[in-house]
Amino acid sequence: MLVGVPAVEELAQALLPRGDDPLVVLVSGLRQLDRPAVVSVDERALLELFQGRGDPHWVDGKLRVELDLRQWRTLAQAGQQPELGWVEIETGPRREPTHMFEAFTTLAAVAQHTHSVQLGQMVTCAAYRNAGLLAKEAACVDVFSDGRLILGLGAGWYEREYQAYGFEFPPPADRLRILSETVQVVKRLWTEETVTFQGKHLSFDGAFCDPKPLQQLPEVWIGGGGEQVTLRIAARHADKTNWQVGLDAFVHKSEVLRRHCDDVGRDFDTIVRTHAPDCRLFDTERDLEAWLTSPDGGSLWGRGDPHEYARDHLVGTVEQVAEKVRGYADAGCAEFVLWFRDYPSTESLERFAREVVPLVGA
């Protein structure tokens, strides 16, 4: 969003009151702005303000700084409150050192220790790998797992990660075209002896992909609910969709997907719709309320309205969660991918299987 902010302190008070939430700030710099009167400090002052904090660097004519709110408050308490003019605010995953295993090597390893569970990603950014390499890695996982691969694909969105690894961050329309071309190429590589393809972004000339997957054609999930393009790509190519939205939005996106299916001549009922909400079970509503307002509770993507979060996710008592599941099931949701918020505890997972599933089945 674009917010006019006269001071850092006001920004800190207005956004994400939990002190450890991630915050990305794009500040329009004087010398790289078409309308310099908007900003009352020059480039040197901006760089000095953020020196040693937040990795300041220029991106498309804007000074990009990544700070959490504790750092913002430190600046505010120190009296460093310049008139920043128009400030563009993004929220996203905190960038910090942590163990984040690469998807396909991890799936190959997990395949050796499991026998029946399907193995997939939620979801792989189509632009991070050459589509031929992606098809090859995925096919090998399917072979290693005796035919249990799911390939989840999305257009990608996290600009800072692209930048960190030196990937070009294309405009949204190009990222979506890359997604569409990737799905087409991967399916062909899995089923044809050689593939020659010339798209706007991808090019192949007699490419092989052997061994082929053991499944005749592994499931392809398209993540994302963009209504103009993403859902149209899903209508053409997806076996399953995945959305992380509230029930009303799920119903709406289902109707949009149906219209795209009608347009492209696809049977709407051949696409399985899935949902990926947070899940945590509580004994009482009081326990839920206490967790929603705790430092580790509620949405991982910024505070927002805790009651809207609780409405749209499978958090609550057993009876409340069962009622929400029934609502999504009645709207056509066939599968759930649950993000258990009490991990590494298995309490909510076990209670969901033991207590919620029988209520829904009844």
Tokens at 77, concatenated: 């308490």
154 Cβ partners below 8 Å, 6+ apart? Answer: 123, 124, 125, 126, 179, 222, 223, 224
306 Cβ partners below 8 Å, 6+ apart? Answer: 292, 293, 297, 298, 299
Q: What is the pLDDT of residues 171-205, one digit of tens each?
A: 999 999 999 999 999 999 999 999 999 999 999 99
Residue 66 has a pLDDT of 54
- 279: exposed, middle or buried (Cβ count in 10 Å: 0-12, 13-18, 19+): buried
Q: Helices 230-237 & 247-264, crossing angle to 10 degrees? A: 60
Lowest-confidence range among 81-85, 222-226, 277-281, 286-290?
Answer: 81-85
Residue range 252-263: average pLDDT? Answer: 97
Residue 8 has a pLDDT of 40
Residue 216 has a pLDDT of 85
Tokens at 118, concatenated: 């399907």
Helix, strand, coil share of the chain (percent; to 5): 40, 20, 40
341 band by pLDDT with thresholds 50, 70 and 90: very high
**Could you write out the DSSP letters of every residue in 118-169?**
-B--S-EEGGGS-HHHHHHHHHHHHHHTTS-BEEEEE----HHHHHHTT---
Count CA atoms closer than 13 A to 22's CA, side-chain side: 13
95 band by pLDDT with thresholds 50, 70 and 90: low
List, as own/partner pairs, every contact residues 208-215 make where C-beta atoms lie below 8 angstroms and the sequence separation is at least 24, other chains included. Answer: 209/132, 209/135, 209/136, 209/139, 211/139, 211/140, 211/143, 212/139, 213/138, 213/139, 213/142, 213/143, 213/147, 213/149, 214/142, 214/143, 214/146, 214/147, 215/142, 215/147, 215/149
Q: What is the pLDDT of residues 65-75, one digit of tens each?
A: 555 444 444 54
This prediction has a pTM of 0.76
Q: Are strands 57-59 and 62-66 parallel, antiparallel or unpaired?
A: antiparallel
- Dihedral sign for Cα 126, 121, 336, 293, please: negative
Count of beta carbons in the 10 Å neighbourhood of residue 60: 9
Q: Is the pLDDT of residue 20 over 50?
A: no
Residue 39 has a pLDDT of 31
CATH architecture of 103-223: Alpha-Beta Barrel (3.20)
Residues 62, 26 contacting (CB under 8 angstroms): yes
94 band by pLDDT with thresholds 50, 70 and 90: low
Edge to edge, the sheet with strand 339-340 lists 314-316, 278-281, 339-340
Query: Domain coordinates of the chain in residue numbers?
Result: 2-90, 103-223, 278-361
Return the bridge partners of 281, or none: 316
Tokens at 296, concatenated: 């580790």
3-class secondary structure, 57: strand
> What does the DSSP 8-state code read for residue 212?
P
Rounded to the nearest 10°, the torsion over CA 77, 78, 81, 87 is -70
